Chain A
Amino acid sequence: MDIKSSLHQIKEKFKGNKFAPAFNAFHTFLYTPNDVTKGGTHIKAADDLKRTMNMVILSLVPCLLFGIFNAGYQHYAAIDAANGVIREVSLFGNFINWENFILGATKVIPLVVVSYVVGLTVEFIFAVIKGHEVEEGYLVTGMLVPLIVPVDLPLWMLSVAVIFGVVIGKEVFGGTGMNILNPALTIRAFLFFAYPTWMSGDKVWVHGAVERTGTPEAISGETILGSYAQNQEIMYSLYDMFIGFIPGSVGETSKILIIFGALFLIFTKIGSWRIMLSTILGALFMGLIFNQVVDFGWITETSKFYGLMNVPFWEHLLIGSILFGAVFMATDPVTAAQTLKGKWIYGFLIGFISIMIRVFNPAYPEGVFLAILLMNVFAPTIDHYVIEANIKNRLNRLKIKSS
């Protein structure tokens, strides 16, 4: 007897058991369920929620791998920089090598493991108590969370945040599909407000920078956004930013891999290209406005906003995590707007507000997550008005015809 049929037999045997949902979760993860609809015609498709989530995870894997190498690379690069050695990055020379991989893996893999173990445990507990099936929503959240936190984040903080995010952000609303806020971003917001010293500043983004503070071996962990906010010179070239050889949260740095992920999501029709595109348009629009303000001379170099306002509008896409947010966060089908027109508005405002927060609030240089959470809250309102407008349009059309 093969595994598939023996698993089905176990399932039949323990039907109605308290822990059946927990078993079923693993079962459907491995195989498509054996209970199928009988009679009549129906659409044959295997892309249930679990397959959909797996696709998103696949699109995130390149970012994760890059993040592992980058975590190691940034650490050694920062040490070199502290010793006065300027590194010339080369992809296959000093970037993809064992040294970087081992250091990065020892930092990043635990984040992934903790995120999944804690989050899925909470999900299983809720499924067993409530007696419903385990929902697949956490599969993607669990992958996103390690990618949007600094590499040196203490693991217990991550666990606390994951418990908070899954319980308060999702389960109290009724689980996957019912949540108002994106769980991964709820987790990040919790971390950001609860432990700001570990989530912002010029130390946490490079492994080792925090422990070495105040010692002779001190290294810098500043992100590009942080440097801009303090009107400092930027040491990274556009090429570095595009490929991702810059400090930042684990998975957000490599723009080219995020674009690959985006294309993959669009091609498999899982991510909404409308939201991605409109988010980028919104960000560019706001960037343009700020550029114009600088051009008109309303903001001069003495202003604390000058550094970020003077960034060429298209460069905003290459720094920070606006692209990551647009592709993987804003497109979350549960919390995004549902109507087509609503998606355009929703995405545009995310981009617009992200750049606004980024420039105006140096304390929150990474405003993308706040912008997306805000628009998550407004998404149902947007949908409501889009639908109302549609109804009104149709009624008007009817009137014209009948009169």
Chain B
Amino acid sequence: MGLLSKKDAKLILDPLSDNNPITIQVLGICSALAITAELEASVVMSVAVLFVMGVGNVVISLIRNIIPSRIKIIVQLIVIATLVIIVDLVLKAYAYELSKTLSVFVGLIITNCIIMGRFEAFALGNGLWRSFLDGIGNAFGYAIILIIVGFFRELLGAGTLWGYPVFGDAIDKTGLYAWGYENNGFMLLSPMALIVVGIIIWIQRSKSTHLIED
């Protein structure tokens, strides 16, 4: 990559695979379970987290030298809270229906351990550009899992994708439903999100065996 040095590119690419925040570090599981029943909600959630992490990491990196270390957690929380409120208000203004489905979970981005973790582990000790890359890298790593889980849960659970019926109409029995196919209601329940994430972890680890620890 010409734009990014090798070291910088690693910041973005690592969280996508070998250091994925969800499948390897197992952080941010609560939101991955709660809002992935629909693809649309997972995408919006991913975008929100992308914004909060990108901007948050930059802000923390900018003020990292003037934060007194005794109150750094509070400062971090204020930064996240501010950004989350911005996201929440934007959603309420432009996508009201969706913000109702996401309900408390937008607000709960604040408790998403990935964000706090990156602030602590990276932004507090690195420059602006690298912090930004790390932020969006981790957000993409989070997003990719959320979208995969959301895709399968909505497809198998409700038979739709982004709200559009894929397999035909479940009530009028058209398309696949005419053959006796039925939606898998279990997919819409949270335990199944956990199992889908588990299967992703399984596949990832059997592909890249160096991740397996004893």
Show the binding face of A for B, using Cβ within 8 Å. 154, 156-157, 160, 168, 172, 190, 193-198
A-B contact pairs, 5 of them (CB 8 A): A154-B180, A154-B182, A156-B180, A172-B198, A197-B182
A196, B185: Cβ atoms closer than 8 Å = yes
How far is B181's CA from A196's CA once the two chains are assembled, in angstroms? Answer: 14
Q: Which residues of A contact B198 (CB under 8 A)?
A: 168, 172
B180, A194: Cβ atoms closer than 8 Å = no
Show the binding face of B for A, using Cβ within 8 Å. 180-182, 184-187, 189, 195, 198, 202
Q: Which residues of A contact B180 (CB under 8 A)?
A: 154, 156
How far is B180's CA from A108's CA once the two chains are assembled, in angstroms? Answer: 19
A contacts with B: majority SS = helix
Question: CB < 8 Å: which of A156, A193, A197 contacts B186?
Answer: A193
The 5 closest A-B pairs by CB, nearest first: A194-B186, A193-B186, A194-B184, A194-B185, A154-B180
With A156-B180, A172-B202 known to touch, is A194 a contact of B195 (CB < 8 Å)? no
How far is B145's CA from A113's CA once the two chains are assembled, in angstroms? Answer: 37
B202, A190: Cβ atoms closer than 8 Å = no
How far is B186's CA from A160's CA once the two chains are assembled, in angstroms? Answer: 12
| Chain A residue with Cβ nearest B180 | A154
A194-B186, A196-B185 known, 14 other contacts, Cβ within 8 Å: A154-B180, A154-B182, A156-B180, A157-B182, A168-B195, A168-B198, A172-B198, A172-B202, A193-B185, A193-B186, A194-B185, A194-B187, A197-B182, A198-B182
Q: Which residues of B contact A197 (CB under 8 A)?
A: 182
CB distance from B131 to the nearest CB of A (A): 38
Give the interface centre of B181, B184, B187 by most chain A CB atoms within 10 Å. B184
With A168-B195, A172-B202 known to touch, is A193 a contact of B182 (CB < 8 Å)? no
B184, A195: Cβ atoms closer than 8 Å = yes
Q: Which residues of A contact B182 (CB under 8 A)?
A: 154, 157, 195, 197-198
Q: Which residues of A contact B202 (CB under 8 A)?
A: 172
CB distance from B79 to the nearest CB of A (A): 40
| Chain A residue with Cβ nearest B195 | A168
Q: Which residues of B contact A194 (CB under 8 A)?
A: 184-187
Q: Which residues of A contact B185 (CB under 8 A)?
A: 193-196
How far is B187's CA from A120's CA once the two chains are assembled, in angstroms? Answer: 25
CB distance from B214 to the nearest CB of A (A): 15
B189, A193: Cβ atoms closer than 8 Å = yes
| Chain B residue with Cβ nearest A189 | B186
Q: Which residues of A contact B195 (CB under 8 A)?
A: 168
Q: Which residues of B contact A195 (CB under 8 A)?
A: 182, 184-185
CB distance from B207 to the nearest CB of A (A): 14
How far is B174's CA from A390's CA once the two chains are assembled, in angstroms? Answer: 63
